[in-house]
């Protein structure tokens, strides 16, 4: 196919340069679309094996607690987003009995809108996050696993624990180019009533096609330290990590150029 869009199609998962057969799509393009649609539906409706995931987290040496939202079924979760933003009464009692000490971070994992994303990438991503937090001596409360949760769920959990900051790893809404993408949301001073403007988001975590686990964890650790130091998150906290690294490299080059020649 002699189409100038064909060259661009090598650099994006977007559906461009599909060609045509008469007025219709070629069979391959049609089948690819139907497969992507089926994978997106499966990601939303597939159950999350929390027991298996909990074992993976315990293997990292972390304590795990399982909570429930007010959602009674996956169908209700899709119809009532508000119920996925709050824990059940039984889980509130569990939270009330948790002694998180002086935790810096409340870390939560939920399947959100893609159980496929958490099952495929969640364990590896959490390993990098835990390693990054440990290396910076950040204190993390027990890891909470909550099925059918929404992002704002982190406000209630973080507030109940008295954590300075809440981080939630969530399966993102699947699309026709990615059904297994994870998102990470960070909120300083978690409390009910926060809005999306109060959060920072790291999205499209799905190695090897999106952000790698190490890159996502490094960015999260950077934002965590900046949020704790500055006392804010969201629109007031910018990701200046690359700029700071560039400045450090520039200073290193200057110092190296100005050092005496010892050879």
Q: What is the DSSP code (8-state) at residue 33?
A: H
Q: Domains in the chain, ordered, with CATH?
A: 56-239 (3.40.50.11240)
Q: Is the pLDDT assigned to residue 244 strictly greater than 90?
A: no
| DSSP 3-state of 190 | coil
Q: Is the pLDDT assigned to residue 247 strictly greater than 70?
A: no
Q: How many CA atoms lie within 13 A of 262 on its CB side?
A: 2
Mean pLDDT of the 236-250 span: 69
Q: Is the pLDDT assigned to residue 8 strictly greater than 70?
A: yes
Q: Is the pLDDT assigned to residue 251 strictly greater than 80?
A: no
Q: 71-74: which pairs have CB atoms within 8 A and are 24 or more residues apart? A: 71/147, 71/148, 74/45, 74/47, 74/148
* Percent with pLDDT over 70 in the chain: 91
Q: How many CA atoms lie within 13 A of 225 on its CB side?
A: 14
DSSP β-bridge partners for residue 200: 186
Report the pLDDT value the prediction gives residue 99, as an integer from 0 to 100.
Answer: 85
Report the pLDDT value the prediction gives residue 71, as an integer from 0 to 100.
Answer: 96
Mean pLDDT of the 214-243 span: 92
Taken in order 215, 234, 65, 116, is the CA torsion positive or negative? Answer: negative
Mean pLDDT, the chain, as a whole number? Answer: 89
Who's near 19: CB < 8 A, 6+ residues apart? Answer: 1, 3, 25, 26, 29
Phi, psi of 121 (to 5 degrees): -125, -15
Kindly report the pTM of this predicted structure.
0.85
């Amino acid at each position: 196919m002699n189409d100038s869009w064909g060259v661009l199609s090598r650099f994006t998962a977007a559906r461009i340069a599909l060609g045509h057969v008469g007025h219709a799509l070629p069979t391959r393009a049609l089948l690819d679309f139907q497969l992507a649609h089926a994978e997106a539906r499966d990601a939303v409706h597939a159950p999350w094996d929390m027991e298996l995931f909990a074992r993976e987290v315990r293997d990292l040496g972390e304590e795990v607690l399982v909570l429930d939202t007010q959602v009674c079924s996956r169908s209700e979760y899709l119809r009532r987003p508000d119920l996925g933003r709050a824990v059940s009464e039984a889980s509130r009692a569990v939270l009330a009995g948790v002694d998180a000490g002086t935790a810096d971070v409340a870390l939560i994992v939920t399947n959100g809108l893609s159980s496929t994303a958490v099952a495929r990438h969640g364990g590896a991503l959490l390993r990098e996050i835990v390693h990054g937090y440990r290396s910076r001596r950040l204190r993390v409360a027990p890891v909470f696993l909550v099925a059918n949760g929404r992002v704002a769920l982190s406000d209630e959990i973080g507030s109940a624990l008295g954590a300075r900051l809440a981080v939630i790893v969530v399966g993102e809404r699947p699309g026709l180019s990615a059904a297994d993408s994870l998102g990470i949301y960070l909120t300083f001073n978690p409390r009910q009533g926060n809005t999306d403007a109060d959060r920072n988001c790291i999205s499209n975590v799905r190695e090897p096609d999106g952000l790698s686990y190490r890159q996502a964890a490094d960015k999260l650790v950077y934002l965590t330290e900046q949020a704790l130091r500055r006392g804010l998150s969201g629109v007031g906290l910018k990701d200046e990590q690359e700029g700071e690294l560039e400045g450090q490299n520039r200073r290193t080059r200057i110092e190296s150029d100005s050092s005496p020649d010892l050879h």
